[in-house]
Amino acid sequence: METHHSNRFDRDTAVTLVEEGTYSTRFDPGWWIIRGPNGGYLAAILQRAITAAVDDVARLPRSLTVHYTSPPTEGEALIETRVERRGGSLSTVTARVTQAGKLRALALAACSTPRESHAFYHAEMPDVPPADSLARGEAAIPLHERYDYRFIPSMQPNAANETAVMAAWIRPETPRPLDHPLLAAYSDALPPAVFARAHRDQALGALPTVDLTIHYRMDPAETGVRDDEHCLAIFRSRLAHGGYIEEDGEIWSADGQLLAQSRQLAVILG
């Protein structure tokens, strides 16, 4: 079995310091979907670069928004980061990804230390079958080979749903510790929720992401999630109109901790 340091996810999302604030990376085709790399894969790479730019383990990632401006191609890319403001507890960071002078993505992120404050917990994980009771999903595109998916039968592609909802237990093909880059990847790792009712509507083609926002709600290091443990990813869409569709996501630990929330806007093609 691969070690954490040689795990494919870590290799394929690695960033290397070029000069202060600038990092190099490489987009690997093993994370491709229909048009270039998966948006969650790119978000994971950006999270690594932003965390490196902040350079403070006490300032945990809280929010990441990525705007996808053009489809990346296989190979080298540059990530230019800038700490726009470093406050007493919160750092605001921007990042831009380019390939051969072409802008691929823009990101805005917040990292901060924990704060003592009013707290409540009203979130409740959906009641779904456990991961080990479900068959592993089949791989249809390169991205699917990177994860072990266990789709929830009533919330999977072509499930004949009235509503657009997709859910699956997910973990990397090779187990590794849960961290912020992996949560970022999970936030866009399933087929679009609308595909659960695709046969009810006109045929759908690609749904490229315009923007993706991820809110990290728990420190992965404190959740107790095992390296080989699945997390539950569930996504819902409520409005397709004017050629665009939104998707809201939640990532849960097996014991019911809400780890991350996401929202994205995508273009409906074909």
Domain residue ranges in the chain: 4-113+135-267
% of residues, the chain, pLDDT over 70: 94
Confidence label for 203 from pLDDT (cuts 50, 70 and 90): low
Q: What is the mean pLDDT of residues 30-40?
A: 91
Residue with tokens 């074909």, as numbered in its chain: 270
pLDDT digits (tens, 9 = 90+) for 81-111: 999 999 999 999 999 999 999 999 999 999 9
pLDDT digits (tens, 9 = 90+) for 259-269: 999 999 999 98
Angstrom distance (rounded) from CA 141 to CA 206? 13
Using alpha carbons, select from 233, 244, 270, 266 the residue that is nearest to residue 66: 266
What pLDDT score does 109 carry? 98
More confident residue, 74 or 198: 74
Using alpha carbons, select from 192, 215, 214 the residue that is nearest to residue 205: 192
Question: Which bin fits 219, alpha (ψ -120 to 50), beta or left (φ > 0)?
Answer: beta
Tokens of residue 15, six digits: 């960033």
DSSP string, 101-167: TEEEEEEEEEEE------------------GGGSPPPPPSSGGGGGEEEEE-GGGSTT---SSEEEE
pLDDT digits (tens, 9 = 90+) for 7-29: 999 999 999 999 999 999 999 99
Topology of the domain comprising 4-113+135-267: Porin (2.40.160)
Angstrom distance (rounded) from CA 85 to CA 113? 14
Helix boundaries (H) for 180-234: 180-186
